[in-house]
Amino acid sequence: MTSNQTRIPAETHGLSLADLSDNARFVLEKLHEAGFEAYAVGGCVRDLLRGRSPKDFDVVTNARPEEVKRLFRRARIIGRRFKIVHVVFRDEMIEVTTFRGGDTGEVKRADGGMITRDNVFGSIHEDVWRRDFACNALYLDYASGDLVDYVEGLTDIRSGRLRVIGEPEDRYREDPVRMLRAARFAAKLGFHLTDDSEAAIAHCRSTLADISPARLFDETVKLMQGGAGRQTFLELRRLGLIEYLFDGLDHWIDPDDPVSDWGLIEKVLEATDRRVEQGLPVNPAFLFAGLFWRMLGRHRIKWLHQRVPADDAMVLAADEVMANMAKPLMIPRRLAEIIRAIWMLQPELERLAPPSARIGRGAEGKVDALDDNQRALLEAPWFRAAVDFLCLRSATPEVDESVCVFWRQYAPERSGHEEAPIEALQPSDFGKKRRRRRPRRRKPGGGNRQPSGE
Ligand code: ATP
Ligand code: MG
């Protein structure tokens, strides 16, 4: 691979090391002092050049993971397909990767070209060709303050272009998740995919089926909770990628028809985007409850028509949705429990709300104004989350607003960080538990949950 390095001096590119977080600078400095090369790379450089504050800071170096680990007090090596070091600070984590080596025979691939093991280290001019998009492949050199650009990434950032580095089909086959990333960046950055980067998706999208459900779940959460969830969903749809995340959903979505499943999904995504913008915590249970709600309703009606009791119909429908529509993803068990709890409470909340004319007559959140059944609902796990979800539904024609108004009295919206629709889940509610329960998969490409740095 040719390497035409362009070095853009600090005076010209306008970025300063002072724009990085203190922790990122600390990590770069330590590496530099120990005699290693050290660069800030990827989304943080891209976002700073666009005048946005980065979500996180990624560092790349020629130090090996073990060497990086030794330099920091709280650092751990993670990842199997590609080892990465997480340097942990009180309120931030810096991901440090070692330059990836060129596309040598040492990289292990499955039959279709997917990279399954990748612990070949290299130098910066090999590393650059392993990155996904040109706008993500700019390096800010700690030693000189120069911006290092091999792939005209700076031009792309300035012109809003999203371009796969290298041959798009090969790069998507190597790692099909790059197609999802394309949708995410196009939506979040407002960038345009180049023609060949977009056209290749139609040829490669079926390879997404080879990605482990655990990694797909992680990516889906990033897609929907990255701050531009609504736009990302529409972009995924435009690129024909929805069906690889939510089996059978695409058919029910019509952005021009509010009566289609889009009616509620748009509300959920907008609510999520608003919270992300305000820096408030978001919980994926709420999101998935909304994505699958209408599908749940269709299954439920089918069972009701077969004269199954209402409660059982709900349980059967939830089982079906989780087994079918959510199949491409591995939704962690704890999360699935919360999603179900939110769903199960919906018909009860509707059934037990008084007719709209009687709402607001002096009850105003007084628990002793409730009957026993109503009072029991207040004690149900995830009651508040269920009310939040109910109120989202009441913004569509399916629930009368008065039902939301009534229950809201008993689950007042909280302000600021307190306002989380659902208490933020702990990391232990996700990957860790799930991993321990599952035996390690040895299938090529299977079970390799990778952190963001691939
Ligand atoms: P974000 O703002 O979401 O953090 P990002 O571009 O920093 O965006 P990360 O997932 O943090 O994305 O990854 C950091 C960098 O690592 C990317 O900018 C890209 O250069 C590289 N990278 C990450 N994932 C992949 C991948 N699947 N294939 C190739 N390169 C990748
Ligand atoms: Mg990043």
Q: How many helices and strands, by DSSP H and E, does the chain display?
A: 20, 12
Beta strands in 42-153 (DSSP E): 58-61, 75-78, 84-88, 93-98, 108-109, 115-117, 139-141, 147-149
Closest ligand 1 atom to Cα of 178:
27
CB-ligand 1 contact for 42 (6 Å cutoff): yes
Q: Which ligand is nearest to the CA of 228?
A: 1
**Cα distance between residue 365 and residue 362, in whole Å:** 9
CB-ligand 1 contact for 297 (6 Å cutoff): no
- What pLDDT, on a 0 to 100 scale, did the predictor assign at position 448? 36
Closest ligand 1 atom to Cα of 56:
4
In whole numbers, what is the pLDDT of the chain averaged over residues? 87
**Cα distance between residue 283 and residue 266, in whole Å:** 16
| Contact call for residues 281 and 417 (beta carbons, < 8 A) | yes
- What pLDDT, on a 0 to 100 scale, did the predictor assign at position 20? 97
Q: Whose CA is nearest to atom 12 of ligand 1?
A: 43
Note the pLDDT tens digit of each residue in 411-429.
887 654 444 444 444 444 4
Note the pLDDT tens digit of each residue in 19-69.
999 999 999 999 999 999 999 999 999 999 999 999 999 999 999 999 999
Catalytic residue among 118, 127, 132, 141: 132
Three-state SS across 60-79? EECCCHHHHHHHCCCEEEEC
- Which helix (DSSP H) or strand (DSSP E) does residue 287 occupy? helix 284-291
Question: Reduced to 3 states, what is the DSSP secondary structure of residue 118?
Answer: coil
CB-ligand 1 contact for 231 (6 Å cutoff): no
CB-ligand 1 contact for 132 (6 Å cutoff): yes
CB-ligand 1 contact for 227 (6 Å cutoff): no
Q: Whose CA is nearest to atom 11 of ligand 1?
A: 452
Q: Whose CA is nearest to atom 6 of ligand 1?
A: 43
Q: Work out the pLDDT band at 159, boundaries 50, 70, 90.
A: very high
- What pLDDT, on a 0 to 100 scale, did the predictor assign at position 440? 42
Kindly write down the DSSP assignment for every residue of 423-449, as one continuous string.
PPPPGGGTHHHHHHHSPPP-STTSS--
pTM of the model: 0.87
429 CA distance to ligand 2 middle (Å): 23
The average pLDDT across 374-391 equals 93
Joined together, the tokens standing for residue 382 give 């995830």
Of 126, 135, 136, 218, the one to substitute when testing ligand 1's pocket (max ligand atoms within 8 A of C-beta) is 136
CB-ligand 1 contact for 153 (6 Å cutoff): no
Query: Residue 400 catalytic?
Result: no
- What pLDDT, on a 0 to 100 scale, did the predictor assign at position 421? 46
Catalytic residue among 19, 47, 58, 146: 58
Question: Reduced to 3 states, what is the DSSP secondary structure of residue 95?
Answer: strand
All residues with CB under 5 Å from ion ligand 2: 43, 56, 58
- Which helix (DSSP H) or strand (DSSP E) does residue 124 occupy? helix 124-127
Of 82, 131, 165, the one to substitute when testing ligand 1's pocket (max ligand atoms within 8 A of C-beta) is 131
Query: Residue 47 catalytic?
Result: no
Domain boundaries, the chain: 1-159, 234-415
| Contact call for residues 52 and 227 (beta carbons, < 8 A) | no
Task: Report the CATH number of the 234-415 domain.
Answer: 1.10.3090.10
Choice among 38-47, 85-94, 329-338, 348-357 with the minimum mean pLDDT: 348-357
pLDDT over 50 (residue 407): yes
Q: Which residues pair with 100 in a beta bridge?
A: 121
Joined together, the tokens standing for residue 57 give 């800071």
Amino acid, res. 225:
Q
CA-CA-CA-CA dihedral for 265, 269, 272, 276, to nearest 10: 170
**Could you give phi then psi for residue 203, rounded to 5 degrees?**
-80, -25
- How far are the Cα atoms of 103, 146, 154, 288 from residue 6, in angstroms, in the given order? 22, 10, 10, 45
CB-ligand 1 contact for 166 (6 Å cutoff): no
**Cα distance between residue 168 and residue 132, in whole Å:** 9
154 CA distance to ligand 1 middle (Å): 16
57 CA distance to ligand 1 middle (Å): 10
249: number of Cβ within 10 Å: 19
Of 132, 138, 172, the one to substitute when testing ligand 1's pocket (max ligand atoms within 8 A of C-beta) is 132
Q: Could you say which DSSP state residue 137 is in?
A: -
Amino acid, res. 112:
G
Amino acid, res. 311:
D
The residue that leads in pLDDT, 369 or 43, is 43
- How far are the Cα atoms of 32, 65, 98, 102, 227 from residue 77, in angstroms, in the given order? 20, 7, 11, 22, 29
Q: Work out the pLDDT band at 365, boundaries 50, 70, 90.
A: low
339 CA distance to ligand 1 middle (Å): 30
Q: Which ligand is nearest to the CA of 21?
A: 2
Q: Which ligand is nearest to the CA of 219?
A: 1
- Contacts of 28-35 with C-beta under 8 Å, sequence gap 24+, read 28/59, 28/142, 29/142, 30/71, 30/72, 31/59, 31/61, 31/63, 31/68, 31/71, 31/96, 31/142, 32/142, 32/143, 34/63, 34/67, 34/71
pLDDT over 90 (residue 172): yes
Q: Whose CA is nearest to atom 25 of ligand 1?
A: 454
Note the pLDDT tens digit of each residue in 232-263.
999 999 999 999 999 999 999 998 887 899 99
| Contact call for residues 75 and 86 (beta carbons, < 8 A) | yes
Assigned CATH class of 1-159:
alpha beta
**Could you give phi then psi for residue 102, rounded to 5 degrees?**
-65, 180
Q: Which residues pair with 176 in a beta bridge?
A: none
Query: Residue 132 catalytic?
Result: yes
| Contact call for residues 339 and 289 (beta carbons, < 8 A) | yes
Residue with structure tokens 């058919």? 251
Contacts of 175 (CB under 8 A, 6+ apart): 114, 115, 132, 454
pLDDT over 50 (residue 436): no
| Contact call for residues 177 and 204 (beta carbons, < 8 A) | no
Joined together, the tokens standing for residue 322 give 């989780």
Beta strands in 145-205 (DSSP E): 147-149, 161-162, 192-193
CB-ligand 1 contact for 58 (6 Å cutoff): yes
